[in-house]
Amino acid sequence: MNRLSVRMTVPALLVLAGLAAVEASGWDDDDDSPVARVLLLSVDGLRAADLALYVKTHPTSPLAALSAQGRTYTNASATKPSDSFPGMLAMVTGGTPRSTGVYYDDGYDRSLVPAAGTCVPGATAPGTRAQWKQNLDRVPVVAPFITTIDPSKLPRDPADCSRVFPHQFPRVNNVFELIKAAGGRTAWSDKHPAYEFLNGPSGTGLDDLFTPEIASCDGVLPCASTLVTTNFFSKTMAYDDMKVAAILHEIDGFDHTGTTPDGVPTLFGMNFQAVSVGQKLDRTPLGGPRGGYLDAAGTPSVPLETALEHTDQSIGLMVSELRDRGLLESTLIIISAKHGNSPVDPATLHRIDPAGISGVVNAVQPGLLGLLSADTGPLLWLKDQTRTGDVVAALKAANPAVTGIDATAAGQGVLWGADLAALYPDPLTDPRTPDIILRPVPGTVYTPPIPTATKIADHGSFGEDDVHVALLVSNPRLPRKTIGDRVETRQIACTILKALAMECDGLQSEAVEPSKFLPHSNHKHQ
C-alpha cells in the first residue's frame, strides 16, 4: 500500500465551516457541532445483537473503542424488504421503497422494455426484470476484479428506447449529490459496478467510485459458481481488504488508487461483505467448515467469528489512519448494515426450492409470473394483475413445504391488495411495486436443493433477524450512550447532513416519507 505522507485539504466552504465549528466548541448533548467529514461503513449482515456481543467479548477492540465514544442504537431497523439496494438507498436517501421505488437488487418494472429484443419508441412497455447486480458486467474484466457496465444489458425506456443506467432508477436524490452541490467531495466503494446507482438521478453524486466485482473468481469472469469469491471465507476477507486500502488512500488525501491527490472526501465509505458471507455460507458441500451461528443465542461459528474480527481490525486501520492524519476528532464515523441475515438459530433453518412457488403461480395461468425474487422474503410480480387474487388463493392452498408460508399463523402468509398498498404504492398504479409479498415461516431460506445448496442464511424478509441491524455513531468528542428508541437506518441520511451543517429538506424522499436525524438520547427529537 502506498503510504504517502502528503496531507491534502478539500477547498470547500462546507468542510472548512464544519472543521472550524468542531475546533471552536466540542460536542453538545443536545445539538452536536458540525464535523468536517463523515465516514459511513456498512457491515452487511451485522445485527444489533452481533455488535453488542462482540463489544462485550472483545473489550479492547476497535469496535469497543468506537462504542465507548459514541451512540449505540439498539433498536434500529433496516428497510423492508431487507436487501442491499433498498438498504443502501435508505442510508443515503432517507427513503424506503415507498419513495425510492427500489424494492430489491433483483426487481421488476412494468414501465420498461427488456434489454434485448425489439423496442419501438412510444410503444407500450411490456415490462421487464430490473436486475442491478453482476448481470450487468462487461466480460471479460478490464483488470482483476475491475469490470464495467455493459450498456447492452440495461433495460430501456420505451419513450425513446434509451438505456436506463442504475443511477437513473432511484426516484429520489441522495446525500452524495447534496454534498457535492455544497462543494464537498464524495467517494464510495462497493461490490458491483451497478453501485453506480449512488451517483443518484443527477448522475454526478460521486467523485470517486470503486466497485471491484465480488461475483468473480480471483477477479476473473466468467467463472464456475463454486469458485466465486463469496464461496470462500478467506477470499471474501481478502476482497474486503481491497476496499479498505481504498479508504486508507482517501484518508491520506488521494483517490482510491493512492496515485491521484484529490483531497480527503467530505463523505466516503464502503461496504464490508465478510460478515455476511460468514453468516450465510455452509462450505460443507464444498469441502470446508460451516459458517453461521451455533445456537439461538447468536454464538458465532469459527468462520463468522474470524470474519467479525477481521472486519473489526479493518475498521481499526481506518481509525488509526484518521488519528495519524489529525482527522479523527473532525470525523463522524457511522457504522450500520444494509440488512441482517436469517436464521440465527440453526435449528430453525429449512431450505425451500423457489421453483415450487413459480410452479404454483404458473399453474394459475401459464407464463403468469413476471418475476420471483426469493431469498428469505419472496416478492412476486405478475404479468396479468387481474389474476392476483387467484394466485393468492393458490399460494394459501398450496403445501407449506412448497411455498414456505403458513397462511394461518400471525405475521406470516401473504401480503397483497389493500394491506400491501397500505405500506407501499399500490401495484395497480405503480409499475415497480410487487403484486404479492410472502411472509414465510421464520427460518425459511429459498435456495436450490441440496447437494448444490451452500446457503444457511440470507435476507429479504421482514423478520427480526433480517431487519434488526447494528447502528453506531462515533466521534472522540461524543460520550458513550446506549439508545433504545426505535429508529430506522434511513435516518442516517439526515444525520449525515446535520453533521455537515446541512438541512435535511434537500432530500426528495422527505416529500413522501419525512425523517429526522438520529436522536441524541432516549425520547429526544422523536
For the residues 252-266, what does the mean pLDDT come to? Answer: 97
What are the tens digits of pLDDT across the range 342-392?
A: 999 999 999 999 999 999 999 999 999 999 999 999 999 999 999 999 999
Does domain 13-103+165-347+463-511 fall under CATH 3.40.720.10? My reply is yes
> Long-range pairs for 450-453 at CB < 8 Å and ≥24 separation?
450/285, 450/351, 451/285, 452/285, 453/282, 453/285, 453/351
CA distance 362 to 402: 14
- For residue range 460-479, list pLDDT tens digits in order: 999 999 999 999 999 999 99
pLDDT reading at 146 higher than 50: yes
In angstroms, the CA 360 to CA 341 distance is 26
**Cα 404 from Cα 420, distance rounded (Å):** 19
Q: Which amino acid is at 522?
A: N
Stretch among 23-37, 106-120, 241-255, 272-286 having the lowest mean pLDDT: 23-37
pLDDT at res. 27 = 38
Distance separating alpha carbons of residues 387 and 342, to the nearest angstrom: 31
